[in-house]
């Protein structure tokens, strides 16, 4: 049996065995200099206030007293171990944590529960009022439809929960710090992209692809993997034969769905023709060719189907999150090319051109997104503005 007693010097742990007898405690202390009682409290011989001596009869009946703590004001209360209606707190912890796991509160042991978190746990255990309301709500849900005039206990329970004060410490989660980290991240991406656009001459298409691949998963967080030089099968270009096509870059989203991305150089004259055709500004050969290329990739991917999924999953399994399989389910394309702004910041498109470009984008939006480099900058600016507004509100 273990008892805690406070004296003028601190806290004393008293122990006397009800089943095994007490000699084993003294043997452990003499042999090893310490003893573990109830598989929880490890106590040293020097903490023993009085030794039992060598009289066997005295040892069998001896009550060991150990100096447990020396700090003034330390005390143990029943509520640290037992919640309302005799719910054992540590027994509940043992069920949740699993068998064979030690439970430690405070200290520096690996896996120990911080004291402030344990205090939150004590506050979170349901009191008698909550237990009663929950039980009434469960009964009401089951038999309420058979009785007229029954109180809406479910509503009462929900109302009670909504009024109950939150016990989550404001120091355990600091959203403003996370928001500032996100702001810094997107500002870095935007500023880097701006610098590259200000000195874009002389850089190859491959260099632009590599630069954007550094950021693409951050700008488009729905994607979790980038695959390069993806070989796919073409069963239609030459009837009766199988040939191969190579997709420069493919993206895999969080569900394993495969999409295609085309990254071209940021010229401001590759989107629309300079002259009108029947009062319309039509796509340039660069834009039309990129769209056609992406359409063919999507066509061959869709025709490849289940066999393609298995082949691509096997080939790129090490680049995917564990257990993920690639899926070819209505794949889409993302086209990043051209600019709608000049280097000095002025618009590269007049009002009619901007309207016609939007018409073209919407025409293909069911199968691909056409994005200019300035669209990317505006997207980043909007993300940063939103994050700043949310950070100010905290």
Instruction: Report DSSP letters for 87-147, one per residue.
Output: EEHHHHHHHHH-TT----BSSSSTTPBPHHHHHHHHHHS--HHHHHHHHHHHHHHHHGGGS
Tokens 């505006």 appear where?
378
pLDDT of 67 reads 87
Q: What's the CA angle centered on 19, arms 14 and 23, to 5 degrees?
A: 65
pLDDT of 328 reads 94
Q: HSE on the CB side for 247, CA within 13 Å?
A: 28
Other C-beta atoms closer than 10 Å to the C-beta of 63 total 13
- The answer to whether 157 touches 134, Cβ cutoff 8 Å, is yes
As given in the structure block, the two tokens for residue 61 are 């009946």
Kindly give the parts of the chain with pLDDT less than 70.
18-21, 38-40, 55-57, 71-92, 98, 107, 124, 126-174, 394
d(CA 300, CA 328) in angstroms, rounded, equals 10
Domain ranges within the chain, ordered by starting residue: 2-76, 177-393
Dihedral Cα 66, 71, 74, 76, nearest 10 deg: -20
Q: What's the CA angle centered on 387, arms 383 and 392, to 5 degrees?
A: 150
Strand order across the 64-69 sheet:
2-7, 10-15, 64-69
d(CA 269, CA 348) in angstroms, rounded, equals 8
As given in the structure block, the two tokens for residue 115 are 């004291």
- The answer to whether 369 touches 337, Cβ cutoff 8 Å, is no
Do β-strands 41-44 and 34-37 pair in parallel, antiparallel, or remain unpaired?
Answer: antiparallel
pLDDT of 378 reads 93
d(CA 187, CA 184) in angstroms, rounded, equals 5
pLDDT of 146 reads 47
SS3 per-residue string spanning 206-227: HHHHHHHHCCHHHHCCCEEEEE
Nearest CA to 204 among 271, 260, 267?
267
């Amino acid at each position: 049996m273990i008892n805690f007693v406070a004296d003028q010097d601190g806290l004393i742990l008293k122990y006397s065995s009800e089943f095994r007898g007490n000699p084993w405690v003294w043997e452990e202390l003499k042999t090893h200099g310490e003893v573990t009682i109830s598989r929880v409290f490890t106590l040293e011989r020097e903490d023993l206030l009085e030794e039992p001596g060598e009289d066997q009869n005295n040892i069998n009946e001896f009550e060991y007293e150990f100096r447990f703590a020396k700090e003034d004001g330390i005390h143990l209360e029943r509520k640290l171990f037992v919640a309302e209606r005799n719910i054992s707190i540590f027994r509940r912890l043992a069920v949740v944590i699993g068998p064979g796991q030690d439970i430690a509160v405070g200290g520096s042991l690996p896996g120990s529960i911080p004291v402030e978190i344990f205090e939150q746990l004590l506050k979170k255990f349901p009191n008698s009022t909550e237990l009663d309301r929950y039980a009434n709500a469960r009964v009401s849900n089951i038999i309420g439809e058979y009785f007229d005039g029954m109180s809406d206990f479910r509503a009462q329970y929900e109302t009670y929960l909504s009024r109950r004060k939150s016990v989550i410490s404001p120091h355990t989660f600091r959203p403003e710090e996370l928001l500032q980290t996100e702001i810094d991240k997107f500002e870095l991406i935007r500023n880097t992209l701006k610098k590259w656009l200000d000195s874009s001459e002389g850089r190859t298409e491959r260099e632009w692809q590599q630069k954007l691949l550094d950021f693409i998963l951050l700008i488009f967080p729905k994607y979790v993997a980038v695959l390069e030089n993806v070989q796919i099968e073409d069963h239609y270009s030459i009837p009766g034969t199988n040939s191969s096509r190579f997709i420069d870059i493919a993206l895999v989203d969080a569900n394993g769905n495969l999409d295609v991305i085309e990254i071209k150089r940021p010229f401001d004259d590759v989107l629309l023709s300079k002259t009108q055709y029947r009062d319309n500004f039509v796509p340039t050969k660069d834009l039309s060719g990129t769209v056609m290329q992406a359409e063919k990739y999507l066509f061959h991917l869709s025709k490849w189907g289940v066999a393609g999924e298995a082949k691509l999953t096997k080939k790129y399994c090490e680049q995917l999150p564990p257990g993920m399989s690639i899926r070819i389910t209505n794949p889409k394309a993302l086209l990043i090319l051209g600019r709608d702004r000049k280097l000095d910041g002025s618009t590269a498109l007049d009002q009619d051109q901007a309207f016609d470009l939007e018409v073209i984008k919407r025409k293909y939006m069911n199968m691909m997104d056409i994005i200019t480099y300035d669209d990317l900058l505006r997207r980043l600016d909007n993300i940063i503005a939103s994050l700043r507004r949310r950070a100010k509100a905290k």
